[in-house]
Amino acid sequence: MSIRDGDFIDELRSTENSRIGLYALLLAGIAFYLFPVETAVMTMFKTESAFARTLPFAPPGTDGFTLDALSTAWNTLRPGLLNSLLMAIPATIMSALLGSLTAYGLTTISWRGQVGVVVLIIAGIFIPYQAVLVPLAQFWFQILPGLVEGFVNTLFGFITGGSWEYPSRNGYVQLLQLSITHAAYGIPICTLLFRSYYQSISEEMIEAARLDGASAFSIYRNIILPLSLPMFAVTLIYQFTQVYNDLLFALVLINEPASQVATQRLAALTGGVVQSFNTTMAGAIVAALPTLLVYIVFGEQFAKGVAGE
C-alpha cells in the first residue's frame, strides 16, 4: 500500500467519523426538542394518581390510562379553535397578500419616498403590542362606532326615520376587529420578508416584460406572484403562528364568551386554583394542532422559501 492510498483511507475514516458525529448531534437535538412533547402526550393520558406515582415521561400503564383529560380539553377548546381559525386565516392571508404587494412596490418600481416608507415599515415592526392597547381599544369601541353610526344615521335617517346601532357587542364583529388588527400588525414584517426575497429576482426579466408592454400589475400577476410561492409559505406559516398564538389583543378586543379564541379558552382551562396537569397538557396538545397542521401542509414550500431568501 502506497503512502497516497494510506492518506486516502485516513481521509475516508475521518469523513465517516465526522458524519457519525453529525448524525449523533442531530439525533440529540431531535430528542431534546421532542422530549417535552413526549412528556405532554404521556401526561395527557394519565389519571391524577398515575401522574403522581410515575415519572412524567413514563407511559401511564393499563391501570392509569384515561381519556378524561383529552375529552375535557377538547370540549372546552373546540369553540375557541373554530373562532381562532375564523379570525386567523383571513388575517394571515391579508397580511401576506398586502405585504407582497407592498414589497413589490418598494422593490421593482422606482418612485420618490421609497426609503422613508421602508424606514416607517421597519419602525412599525418594533412597536410592541402593549404600546397600542389603549389607542386600539379606543378606536374600535369609541371612535369607529361613532363615525359609523353618524354616517349611517345621516344617510338613512330620512328613509327609515330611526337610528342604527353599531354592533360592537356582536361576537362576530369582535372577531372581525381582531382579525383586521392582526392583519395590519403583520403587514410590516411580511413586507420586509417579501422585499428581501424580491431583491434576488432578476431585474432583466422584469425589464424585458416592461419592454413587451406589460403593466405593473401584469408583471406582478404573471411573473412575481408565481415566483413568490415559497415566500408565501414562509409568511403564511409565520403570520398564522403569530396570530393564532396571540392572547393579549384577544383579551382586549373580545369580551363575548361565545367569541373567545383558543388562547383565551386555554388560559381559562389552565388558570384555575387547583392545577390538573393532565388536563393542562391535553389542552396544550389540542391547541397546538392547527399550527402543526399548517407546518405539515406548507413545510416543503417553507424550506424552499427560507433557502431562497
Say if residues 224 and 201 touch (Cβ distance below 8 Å). Answer: yes
Say if residues 218 and 102 touch (Cβ distance below 8 Å).
Answer: no
The x, y and z cell numbers of residue 244, run together, are 393564532
Question: What does the pLDDT read at residue 11?
Answer: 64
Burial class (CB in 10 A: 0-12, 13-18, 19+), 112: exposed
69-112 tens-digit pLDDT: 899 999 999 999 999 999 999 999 999 999 999 999 888 877 78
Neighbour-count burial for 144-161, b at 16+ CB within 10 Å, e otherwise: eeeeeeeeeeeeeeeeee
Please report the pLDDT score of residue 120 as a whole number. Answer: 87
Decide: helix, strand or coil at residue 61.
Answer: coil
Domains of the chain in sequence order: 1-64 (no CATH), 76-305 (1.10.3720.10)
Quote the DSSP letter at residue 45.
Answer: T
**pLDDT bracket for residue 255 (50, 70, 90):** confident
SS3 157: helix
Which residue in the block uniquely carries the three cell numbers 371612535? Answer: 143
Residues 97 and 90: their CA atoms lie apart, in Å, by 10
Distance between CA 187 and CA 101 in Å, rounded? 10
pLDDT number for residue 296 = 85
Name which of 134-138, 144-148, 233-237 the model is least confident about.
144-148
